[in-house]
C-alpha cells in the first residue's frame, strides 16, 4: 500500500481523482491548498504526488521544488495533472522533475495506469 497525496485547487478534480483511486489499497490524502503541501507531506511521507500545475498563489512547479528540498523526499514520484496539455507544457513538466504528466480531462483508467506504473 502506497501513500498518495493529491493537490488541486478544484474540489471537483479532487473528488474525481479520489474516486478513481477509491478501489485501490492505497492511502489517499487530498489537499486543495498548495501552501500546506510541505507540512502535510512531512507528516504523511507520500510515495506519490499528483499535483495540478495551475493553482492560485503557488503553481505545481513551485510545489514540487519545495518538496524536493525536504529531506526524505528524494524518491517521491511526481505526476503533474493539468489542462495545459500541449507538447511544450508536457516536456516542461517532465523537465521540472515529474515522472509523468496527465492532461485534463482524463479518465479514471489513465490515473490508475500511471499510479500502477509508478508505484504498483
Distance between CA atoms of 58 and 75, rounded to whole angstroms? 22
pLDDT score at 74: 86
- Give the model confidence (pLDDT) of 60-85 as tens digits: 999 999 998 999 998 999 999 999 99
The yes-or-no verdict on residue 97 having pLDDT over 90 is: no
The yes-or-no verdict on residue 13 having pLDDT over 90 is: yes
**pTM of structure:** 0.96
Q: Which CATH number fits domain 3-119: 2.130.10.10, 3.30.70.980, 3.40.50.150, 3.40.50.2300?
A: 3.40.50.2300
The burial of 87, by beta-carbon neighbours within 10 Å (0-12 exposed, 13-18 middle, 19 or more buried), is given as exposed
Report, as an integer, the average pLDDT of 75-99: 95
Cα diameter, the chain: 35
CB atoms within 10 A of CB 16: 19
Contact 60, 51 (CB under 8 A): yes
Amino acid at each position: 500500500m502506497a501513500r498518495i497525496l493529491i493537490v488541486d485547487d478544484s474540489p471537483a478534480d479532487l473528488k474525481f481523482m479520489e474516486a478513481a483511486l477509491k478501489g485501490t489499497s492505497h492511502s489517499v490524502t487530498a489537499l486543495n491548498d498548495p501552501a500546506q503541501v510541505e507540512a502535510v507531506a512531512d507528516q504523511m511521507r507520500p510515495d506519490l504526488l499528483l499535483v495540478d500545475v495551475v493553482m492560485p498563489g503557488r503553481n505545481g512547479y513551485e510545489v514540487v521544488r519545495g518538496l524536493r528540498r525536504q529531506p526524505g523526499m528524494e524518491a517521491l514520484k511526481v505526476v503533474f495533472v493539468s489542462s495545459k496539455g500541449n507538447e511544450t507544457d508536457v516536456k516542461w513538466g517532465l523537465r521540472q522533475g515529474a515522472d509523468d504528466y496527465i492532461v485534463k480531462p482524463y479518465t479514471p483508467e489513465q490515473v490508475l495506469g500511471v499510479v500502477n506504473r509508478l508505484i504498483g
